[in-house]
Amino acid sequence: MNSPPRAAALAVPGSGTLPSPDCSLCPRLAAFRETQRAAHPEWFNAPVPPFGESEAELLIVGLAPGLRGANRTGRPFTGDYAGGLLYATLQRFGLASGEYDARADDGFTLVRARVTNAVRCVPPQNKPEPREIRACRGFLVDEIAALPRLRAFLALGAIAHDAVLAALGLRRTQFRFAHGAAHALPNDRLLVDSYHCSRLNTNTGKLTAAMFEEVFALLLSRLDPHGLRGGMHVSHGSAAKPR
């Protein structure tokens, strides 16, 4: 597995290796970031670091920072619709504490969980290119390695699903993405899939709040086996459908 060059990386204690604020691994994303810095100098406008506990058991992986969400606030899924749904659901299942106020300094915290993205910089039209996803892979590899208690992944969308598998050196053909799928991975880890909690997916009915909660019920059933909340079957190398 090829990791990205580390010339544009920054070592942060307890967080593996993170991109530097001026990361230049992806010229298109770097140019877009500079455009946003000129237009909105008050925004974060840099690779967005992970958010959550360094002892997390659950790593939630999204696609990339939203332009007016994480790219503006500097915290994953903070400041846009997707974050409102994600963090409300985390709190409902006891995986977050405090009051989410769509600001990086709102005091909201995660419990046993951590949130990151497959691509750390905001892409134009929210569409990273395959080479950009590959360039960012090494940061996800480092993020996973820095979580000693990690037991489960939640992939928000197919790109995040593929990014997790690539970071772990696993083949996509063995673990196909499907909403509600649960895949048993090596080292007694679990990968669960969900459609992305974007406004588009919820407006079209592709993902509902109830569907999203079912995914978290499955996760909690594995992380807390004595407090079973879900009824989905866990597959080994193939998709499982909600019952």
User: Look-up: residue for tokens 């000129």?
Assistant: 38
Residue whose C-alpha is closest to residue 8's, from 30, 40, 33: 30
Question: What pLDDT digit, counting tens, does each position of 5-14 carry?
Answer: 333 455 443 4
Asked if 74 and 44 touch (Cβ cutoff 8 Å), the reply is yes
Give phi and psi for 57, each to the nearest 5: -95, -20
Helices (H), the chain: 27-39, 70-73, 81-92, 130-135, 137-145, 158-168, 199-203, 209-223
Pair of tokens at residue 66: 């939203």
Question: What pLDDT digit, counting tens, does each position of 22-49 carry?
Answer: 999 999 999 999 999 999 999 999 999 9
Question: Kind of pairing, strands 96-97 and 9-11?
Answer: unpaired
Pair of tokens at residue 28: 């298109």
Predicted structure pTM score: 0.87
Question: How far is Cα 25 from Cα 5, in angstroms, rounded to an integer?
Answer: 8
Question: What pLDDT digit, counting tens, does each position of 209-238 carry?
Answer: 999 999 999 888 877 764 433 333 333 443
CA distances from 181 to 141, 195, 235 (A): 22, 10, 8
Question: How far is Cα 7 from Cα 20, in angstroms, rounded to an integer?
Answer: 9
Helix axes 137-145 and 158-168, enclosed angle (nearest 10): 70
Question: Kind of pairing, strands 189-194 and 152-156?
Answer: parallel
Count Cβ atoms within 10 A of the Cβ of residue 125 and give its class: 0-12 exposed, 13-18 middle, 19 or more buried. Answer: exposed
Domains, in order of start, for the chain: 22-223 (3.40.470.10)
Question: What pLDDT digit, counting tens, does each position of 141-190 carry?
Answer: 999 999 999 999 999 999 999 999 999 999 999 999 999 999 999 999 99
Question: What pLDDT digit, counting tens, does each position of 169-183 carry?
Answer: 999 999 999 999 999
Question: How far is Cα 184 from Cα 238, in angstroms, rounded to an integer?
Answer: 9
**DSSP annotation string for 213-234:** HHHHHHHHHHHSTTS----PPP
